Amino acid sequence: MSIITRILDHSSSKPLHVAIQEKDVSITYEQLASDIRRVSNSMKLTVGVGEFVIIHASNSYEFILTYFSVHYTGAKAVIIASDSEKNYKEFVVNTVKPKLVVCDCKSYVNNIVQSNESNACLAQESEHADLMFTSGTTGEPKGVPLTHAQLTAATEHIVEQVGNTGNDVELLLMPLSHSFGMARMRSTLFVGGTLVIGYPLQRLKGVFKAIEEHSVTGFGIVPSAWSFITQMSKDMIAKYASRLRYIELGSAYLAPEEKRRLTEWFPDTNIVMHYGLTEVSRAIFTCFHTDDLEAIGKVSRGAKFIIIKEDGSKAEEGEEGEIAFLAPWMASEYYNNPLLTSKSYFEGYLLTGDLGKYQGEYLYLTGRLKEVINVGGKKVSPYQVEDVLNQCDGILESACIPFSDKNMGEVVQAYVVLEPENTAEFSEIVGNLKQYAAEHLPVHMRPQKFHKINSLPKTPLGKLQRLKLASM
């Protein structure tokens, strides 16, 4: 069953149940289904089955309506952020050659008149529903096509791990231009729950008000957004612990101490964190209350995986190598790029580019393959060095990249962001960092160069952009 079919079923089984709550406006499943048919009736006049529709994303009812109308029409949705760079937008348009581009969903929907014509849902499980493009922060964007069946399988997996039901009310804190936000939206509507939108995270008072007024029972969030909440309001969010049934985190690193703080603040909330890529969605999960907080996933909570060593053989327990996943919801190819597809899969498993190892029931992340620093033939994961530097007094966060060296090939250089109250001379800070690194790291892993910067370059969702460090 496709997600659009499931929504249509809800319109029959629970027609008056609220599907989307946008501030003070309530849209029932019956109204959502009716609006999808109305918009689809108009859309099919210009868009045929299997053709592309680009939609500029916004956290609005009209965007959600347009998205599902594309599926109802049997077309394929391509979602991009409205504030994407011009070159990125042009790349996507030139790649897919869309039949329709919807830049303003509100205007598009509001200009469609009611039609009495009845049309059937043309979504087919085996056909592509979405084409997601990676951000392209480390190269040309990659097109990831996903079928209706794959989206449904991914959604069922998420629902199983998160535990949301048709009785839940979810506050959407993620942008719908990102796969995390889209998956939370799909999961909520798939189970017949209520999705609350229109409360941007930057207006924290409004977020807390929404939790109270709409009896919110769960949400998804990225680590950088969680950090924003705690920095701006301390532990205020914890007062809602008794009403929150679930919290899903993902898309970036979260320190184990932050995970422990979450378990303390929300002792009875199902707190889970996913690890994955656009290609494989939530590949694997950990549960904060029961799992190893250093791990990125438990074997029984997601996709099958293998660890591939540098020589191409499969690693044994405890051995490091590249993580590769296999799952029913995984993309099986890249759009119009057979060469990239052939390089990215190993015996049907998707190569992630991440280094890891498994120990017992758990999978651990040890680094990023393309980010590994080769110091005299010894491989150094920047994550391990950063974890040490971040523990040094006065350091807010850090990032490491390679620096060319005529003797060693590469050495480690570190970029550090200081705590606001740290007013010491940088030469003194560097001395402390070198001493601390000498006490906690082997010689080849110790940074040889240090740079002070005001902030690390990151994507809007908090992912570090290491390539930009070299030009800073």
pLDDT digits (tens, 9 = 90+) for 342-395: 999 999 999 998 899 999 999 999 887 778 888 876 778 888 899 899 999 999
For residue 227, pLDDT beyond 90: no
CB 432 within 8 A of CB 392: yes
Helix (H) or strand (E) holding 307: strand 304-308
Residue 113 per-residue DSSP state: P
Domains of the chain: 3-195+271-364 (3.40.50.12780), 372-469 (3.30.300.30)
What is the CB neighbour count within 10 angstroms for residue 109? 20
Q: Which residue has the tokens 């620096």?
A: 403
What mean pLDDT comes out for the span 191-204? 96
63, 100, 130, 307, 414 from 52: Cα distances, Å: 16, 7, 9, 36, 44
pLDDT digits (tens, 9 = 90+) for 77-106: 999 998 888 888 999 999 999 999 999 999
How remote is the C-alpha of 130 from its chain's centroid?
A: 16
Phi, psi of 168 (to 5 degrees): -85, 155
CA-to-CA distance for 51 and 149, rounded, in angstroms?
Answer: 18
DSSP annotation string for 176-237 = TTSHHHHHHHHHHHHTT-EEEE---TTSHHHHHHHHHHTT--EEEE-HHHHHHHHHHHTTGG
How remote is the C-alpha of 51 from its chain's centroid?
A: 26
How remote is the C-alpha of 119 from its chain's centroid?
A: 34
Residue 367 per-residue DSSP state: E
For residue 137, pLDDT beyond 70: no
**Res 462: pLDDT:** 74
**Res 138: pLDDT:** 47
What mean pLDDT comes out for the span 33-61? 96
